[in-house]
């Protein structure tokens, strides 16, 4: 690089500066923007991961989708109906009469049954010609249509400690506590709380 300067001691003298002695002027270097995925795709991927994590937590610890197989709980639950079972609720509250519960079948724990709780620990249950008596009083069962009633009888039993007497709503089609006795609490693992398919039956279960 060649440049001209005036030396105060030597007027008109030309100073020559070689390239090795030159101080290079800073050259601006363009900074490339960070490489990243499309912002829309990144947000979608993040939301997907979060949604999957939440869904896994809910299914594992709180709610489990199940399919009803059979007609023993009609008309409350139809064959092939899809419902959600709350697997956590009984850690917060006791099992109550009227609850629809899911439990391991006492005679084959690899299978699961779904029935309605009729009696809890200490209750006296007897059935006369299909009519259920709870602690001496005829039980009002508006969830059992007349067409689904039967005429079976069952001798009076006192529900044992930590056990529950369960019946299907479709009495003529149900294998329940009349056949295998009260169900121990340890076999019950959830409460049926919400139907989601078919759409016309979507809603809270009762």
Instruction: Catalogue the active-site residues.
Output: 72, 115
Retrieve residue 107's tokens: 């005679």
Torsion, CA 77, CA 171, CA 136, CA 138, rounded to 10: 70
Choose among 144, 135, 65, 128: nearest CA to 102: 65
Is residue 83 within 8 Å of residue 123, measured between CB atoms? no
Taking the CA of residue 3 as centre, how many other CA atoms within 13 Å lie in the half-sphere pointing to its CB?
Answer: 11
Report how far residue 105's alpha carbon sits from residue 188's, in angstroms, rounded to the nearest whole number: 9
Report how far residue 30's alpha carbon sits from residue 161's, in angstroms, rounded to the nearest whole number: 79
Choose among 69, 119, 94, 123: nearest CA to 191: 94
Report how far residue 157's alpha carbon sits from residue 165's, in angstroms, rounded to the nearest whole number: 9
With 0-12 CB in 10 A as exposed, 13-18 as middle and 19+ as buried, what is 75?
Answer: middle
């Amino acid at each position: 690089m060649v440049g001209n300067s005036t030396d105060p001691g030597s007027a008109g003298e030309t100073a020559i500066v070689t390239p090795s002695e030159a101080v290079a002027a800073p050259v601006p270097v363009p900074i490339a923007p960070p490489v990243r995925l499309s912002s829309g795709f990144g947000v979608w991927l993040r939301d997907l991961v979060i949604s999957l994590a939440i869904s896994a937590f809910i299914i594992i610890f709180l709610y489990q989708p199940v399919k009803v197989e059979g007609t023993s709980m009609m008309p409350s639950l139809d064959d092939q109906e899809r419902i959600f079972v709350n697997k956590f609720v009984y850690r917060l509250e006791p099992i109550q009469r009227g609850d629809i519960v899911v439990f391991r079948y006492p005679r084959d724990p690899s299978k699961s049954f779904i029935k309605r709780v009729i009696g809890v620990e200490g209750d006296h249950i007897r059935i006369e010609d299909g009519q259920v008596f709870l602690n001496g009083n005829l039980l009002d069962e508006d969830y059992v249509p007349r067409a689904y009633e039967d005429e079976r009888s069952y001798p009076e039993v006192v529900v044992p400690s930590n056990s529950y007497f369960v019946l299907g709503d479709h009495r003529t089609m149900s294998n329940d506590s009349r056949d295998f006795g009260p169900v121990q609490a340890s076999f019950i693992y959830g409460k049926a709380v919400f139907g989601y398919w078919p759409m016309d039956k979507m809603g809270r279960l009762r």
